[in-house]
Amino acid sequence: MKKETCMATVLALTLKEIRMEKGMKQSAVAEYLGMTTAGWGKLENGKTLLSVESMDCACSALGLSPIKLLERVYEQIDLLKHKGWEVRDKRTDNDGLILGLGIPESLVASASGALGASTAGLNATAGLGGVLGAILGAGAGAIAGAVAPTPVAKDKVDNNIAPQKPEERHKFGKVISKAISGYGFIEKTKKL
């Protein structure tokens, strides 16, 4: 399978990353936008497309400008392209980041040793292929933040959301890193 994703997915995962950085719950952002937490979760996990209006409202809730959000999105896209990912303008049926996001980090971590050891070890890991199929069928779960602060008013927008240290710039956010790791796990298990 080709490493591919789309801009809409990178946008959604970047919004999720920023929400988590801010310590906000999905429910707080969803309420600000006038939608359900489940609906926001689908947007955040790349399952539903984000309208321009919803993006603007989400930026208000998260306290950043749409311009700063798009700067972060394009920074992540540049990094993905540098790592050999094809980032399409339109949605793709085989979005590697969405697939990878559905793989629990614990499964990726626990299986990495088994993948290097042997196929027999992998098969002994409680039918990992069946587990992987069940996970991919169920889709990605929503990750909620710890606290739900009040959304920020537009006149108090923080445009300095990106990391301040130069050595921290141009790195994948945690959410996209998790999705890439999950995708790598899928690719490794397919080769067995």
Summarize pLDDT for 142-171 with one digit per residue, the tens. Answer: 323 333 344 555 444 454 444 434 344 568
Amino acid 135: pLDDT: 36
| Domains held by the chain: number | 1
DSSP assignments along the chain, one per residue = ---EEEHHHHHHHHHHHHHHHHT--HHHHHHHHTS-HHHHHHHHTTSSPPPHHHHHHHHHHHT--HHHHHHHHHHHHHHHHHTT-EEESS--TT-HHHHHHTS-HHHHHHHHHHHHH-HHHHHTTT-HHHHHHHHHHH-PPP---S--PPPPPGGG-----S-SSGGGSS---HHHHHHHHHHHHHHHHHT-
Summarize pLDDT for 79-135 with one digit per residue, the tens. Answer: 999 999 999 999 988 899 999 988 887 777 666 555 444 333 333 333 333 333 333
Average pLDDT over residues 180-188: 88
Enclosing domain of residue 163: 4-190
CATH (domain of 149): 1.10.260.40
